[in-house]
Amino acid sequence: MTSRQDEPAPDRPGFSRRSFIKSIGASATASTLTGIATSQAGLLGRESEATPLLGPGTVPLEFNINGKAEKVRVEPSTTLAQVLRYSLGMTGTKVICDRGACGGCSVIADGKLINSCMTLAADMQGAKITTIEGLAQGSKLDPVQESFLRHDALQCGYCTPGFIVATRVLLNDIPKPTLAQIKKALSGNICRCGTYTNIFNAALEASGQPVIMDQKGAV
Ligand code: FES
Ligand code: FES
């Protein structure tokens, strides 16, 4: 039996409330995906590239992650953090808030710091991504990692990969930042264990500057 809402309107063959709702849903989803992709592309200065509509099935994507070409096939709604952790097994990148508020999922994309939980993997097609796993050169840790170790700049350690990646980006941009610049650059990262004093000291030392805060945070 056909329900009333599925009956085609007499003057518009083939039209029904169901097909109307479906078409709105499809176009709204497409607009949302396009909008998100466009805003992320803008963050990375890739506005000039046309963003094709993708999905609803899985799509092939390719990135350069930590110097290695990686291919995955995922749904267009998959975030970069999900690809890193679940498709590629790179669990160093943490997902804590999953809404762009804590910086735990920080990675470097084409030289810029991004929250991978808020970034569609499809928008990173062709990007050069560096994760916490890619900072060390073989067994030699990045100076920022060494400094975090020396200053015991962690407690539970869950926020640590994000802080280290964010500090690496800061030092790439400003080799000798002031304490104020360090605090500002790391303000998107949250440490619920409150190890900020040691984190700031680690950042200062990694940039070749004297540590200027004691364990109580006094300058
Ligand atoms: S997990 Fe991405 S910002 Fe918190
Ligand atoms: S060390 Fe536990 S959240 Fe930062």
- Residue 101, helix vs strand vs coil: coil
| Contact 95 CB / ligand 1 (< 6 Å) | yes
Task: Return the ligand 1 atom nearest residue 97 CA.
Answer: 4
Which mutation among 82, 91, 95 tests ligand 1's pocket best, with the greatest number of atoms within 8 A of CB?
Answer: 95
Q: What pTM, to 2 d.p., does this model score?
A: 0.78
Q: What is the mean pLDDT of residues 165-191?
A: 98
CATH assignment, 58-134: 3.10.20.30
Instruction: Identify the nearest ligand to the CA of 96 by its number.
Output: 1
Task: Return the ligand 1 atom nearest residue 98 CA.
Answer: 1
Spatial CA neighbour of 210 closest among 192, 111, 202, 136: 202
Domain 58-134 identical in fold to domain 143-206: no
| Contact 84 CB / ligand 1 (< 6 Å) | no
DSSP 38-84: HHHHHHTT-TTS------SS-EEEEEEETTEEEEEEE-TT-BHHHII
Task: Quote the ligand 1 centre to 219 CA distance (angstroms).
Answer: 30
Q: Where are the domains of the chain?
A: 58-134, 143-206
- What does the pLDDT read at residue 55? 74
Task: Quote the ligand 1 centre to 76 CA distance (angstroms).
Answer: 19
Task: Give the pLDDT confidence of 32-57 residue by residue, as tens digits.
Answer: 444 444 444 445 555 445 666 777 89
- Residue 196, helix vs strand vs coil: helix
Alpha carbon separation from 111 to 33, 105, 108, 138, 169 (Å, rounded)? 24, 16, 6, 21, 7
Task: Return the ligand 2 atom nearest residue 163 CA.
Answer: 4
- What does the pLDDT read at residue 51? 62
Q: Which residues line ligand 2 (CB under 6 A)?
A: 154-160, 191-193, 195
Average pLDDT, the chain: 82
Considering the domain 143-206, what is its CATH architecture? Orthogonal Bundle (1.10)
112 - beta bridge partners?
109
